[in-house]
Structure 1
Amino acid sequence: MALQLYHDTGTTAANLVAEITALRTQRQAVILAHNYEYGEIQDLADYVGDSLGMAQYAAQTAAPVLVVCGVHFMAETAAILSPEKTVLIPDPEAGCSLAASIDAEQLRAWKAEHPGAVVVSYVNTSAEVKAESDYCCTSGNAERVIRAIPEDRQILFLPDMFLGSYLRQQTGRAMEIWAGECHVHAAIRPTMVEQQRSAHPKAEFLIHPECGCVSSTMHYLATGKISADGTHILSTEGMIRHAAASNASQFVIATEIGVLHRMRKANPEKEFLPIDESISCKYMKLITLEKVRNSLRDLTHVVSVEPALAARARGAIERMIAL
């Protein structure tokens, strides 16, 4: 059952959706929603996807108003790519623990310790950090980005240490890795993997490379403690594609629980189980129907990036999209 999210007890979900639909038309707006948002937010969005897909859609749409249902760096990315558009975020407090793990001053100091290194920043970073980076990436294209860098160049990867560790093992590239983490993915522990594997031995196990248990999962795979059959380390979009194509009827999903809504909606005949019900991002869940309605009605809260900073950050983002 969907959670009741509305402070105005006289307003039903159906009424809020109707208001949002009318306001969207009035404002000529599009609504972008991340996979981790509540199901009712995903259902009314013009686009649902990961950070890369949201960035691409924001850049390509002709709509003058973008409502970004996600966290703040996603709205910043949209503003960087589309400076002529009005970019709104329904709740300005929707931050990101991973993005907060490094700032531009820390990155500049790290670069000074490794002159000439290529800086690859996960998209979960502030505009200031992107401006100091050579490439951005998502979990979906991070390996492609790393492999595109000449082998004689040193790589600084930030800020997700779990994704960095996974990429180092997958590509064999020597990399310096920033010790940052997402509080949600870091909460996924090896014991959760073991418990769910034991409880659902026939289910396929889909895990995000940012998860804190990825390194141990790879170890379990190598030593045979976890069967390689049915275990897949995938980006969010990779998970969704795999679930649709697989003949399996049951899946255990090791990432933020919001993505299960999209999987269940696309594959109603299949069963999708969370690795643990607690794996939920409190920042993503700040976005509600009421706040989306208010944002469109009042044109709040506008997210913009200073033009010179945006120009520097745009290069790293455009290299990500090109790859």
Structure 2
Amino acid sequence: MNHVPSLSSLYDRVSRVVPKAEWMFFEDDVRAILDLKRRRNAVILAHNYQTPEIFHCVADIVGDSLALARKAVETDAEVIVLAGVHFMAETAKLLNPAKTVLIPDMGAGCSLAESITPEDVALLRQAHPGVPVITYVNTSAAVKAASDICCTSGNARQIVESLGVPRVIMIPDEFLARNVAKETDVEIIAWHGHCEVHELFTAADVRQLRENHPGVMVLAHPECPPEVVAEADFAGSTAVMSDYVGAHRPARVVLLTECSMSDNVSVHHPDIEFIRPCNLCPHMKRITLSNIREALELNRHEVTVDPAIAADARRAVERMLAL
């Protein structure tokens, strides 16, 4: 936080994915955000799906949902700005109840979080007595509070097998549950929620990619349909996909996930060709440099969690983080 990079050095980081003409419109906001972070003792947590000018130029902590949850606990900042979607900001607040947590746009939601309610969880428990409920972090705090433990796409199999039971309920992502079920002997009861980005990919897309781009390595997010994962060379969370690219260094690669992921990973690998048949997340794209700046200037929009559910929701998240 003490060393402030120059605007020119920041642009050097993203010059391959952000045109100079576009950067000229970003510079004033970037400069202001860097100053506001110092003055307010604030940090910005940015998900892998944020655009490069946010991810590489103003964010202090970046990663997938699991990384952001873990690192949110470690920050000593007084203010946390979550450049991501609402459930991520709620999770940051759960883990930092005494700190101010801001989200630049309250409309940044998630189709998975909207696909299930605490009442749905209660009905699942009634239908399957004694079966533990594993809740994907892409859910509201209220749904987390109704569950036994949380998981992310990066640790879902580990969480399933850690419980030592023959059957679990995994909510709300049906495709994640079905993909994990293929990797474990534990029976998984799924819900019918889908990510509006990942459900758009098809097995035919993968076959066409291979036909049009010979030798391409295809990496898929486990929120994709199982038939897509089956056609891919590898499947993993956004963090795992990024690590895979760095470790294997394919000449040509495609990441079947949200658009900005390829831009952000490609910054570190200028020698790798990234094919980009991606889908945009309309919620992630509600976060911009300008509304991050406004969040810090105006303390907008503060995220709170109902104390009546916060303790149970925090327990579910902390139980995941303890593994």
TM-score normalised per structure 2: 0.91
What is the correspondence of 1:246-261 to structure 2 with a 5 Å cutoff? 246-261=248-263
SS of match in other structure, 1:87: strand
Q: Is 2:130 the counterpart of 1:125?
A: no
Equivalence for 1:273? 275
Equivalence for 1:223? none
CA distance in 2, matches of 1:216, 1:37: 24
CA distance in 2, matches of 1:308, 1:72: 19
CA distance in 1, matches of 2:267, 2:191: 36
CA distance in 1, matches of 2:141, 2:182: 28
SS of match in other structure, 1:83: coil
Instruction: Report deviation, 1:318.
Output: 0.8
Q: State the percentage of identical aligned residues.
A: 42
Q: Is 2:16 the counterpart of 1:14?
A: no
CA distance in 1, matches of 2:40, 2:120: 40
CA distance in 2, matches of 1:53, 1:3: 29
Instruction: Report deviation, 1:137.
Output: 0.5
SS of match in other structure, 2:104: coil
Q: Is 2:305 the counterpart of 1:314?
A: no
CA distance in 1, matches of 2:126, 2:97: 31
What is the correspondence of 1:1-323 to structure 2 with a 5 Å cutoff? 2=18, 12-43=25-56, 44-152=58-166, 154-212=167-225, 214-218=226-230, 220=231, 231-274=233-276, 276-277=277-278, 279-323=279-323
CA distance in 2, matches of 1:131, 1:188: 31
In structure 2, the gaps of 5 or more residues are 1-16
CA distance in 2, matches of 1:257, 1:172: 34
In structure 1, the gaps of 5 or more residues are 221-225
Instruction: Report deviation, 1:201.
Output: 2.4
Report how many aligned residue pairs link the two structures.
304
Write the letter of the residue equivalent to 2:54.
Answer: I
TM-score normalised per structure 1: 0.91
User: CA contact under 8 A between 1:162 and 1:209: conserved in structure 2?
Assistant: yes
CA distance in 1, matches of 2:214, 2:163: 40
User: CA contact under 8 A between 1:165 and 1:215: conserved in structure 2?
Assistant: no
User: CA contact under 8 A between 1:128 and 1:309: conserved in structure 2?
Assistant: yes
CA distance in 2, matches of 1:89, 1:233: 30
User: CA contact under 8 A between 1:161 and 1:179: conserved in structure 2?
Assistant: yes
Q: Which moved more, 1:104-113 or 1:76-85?
A: 104-113
CA distance in 1, matches of 2:293, 2:25: 12
Write the letter of the residue equivalent to 2:65.
Answer: S
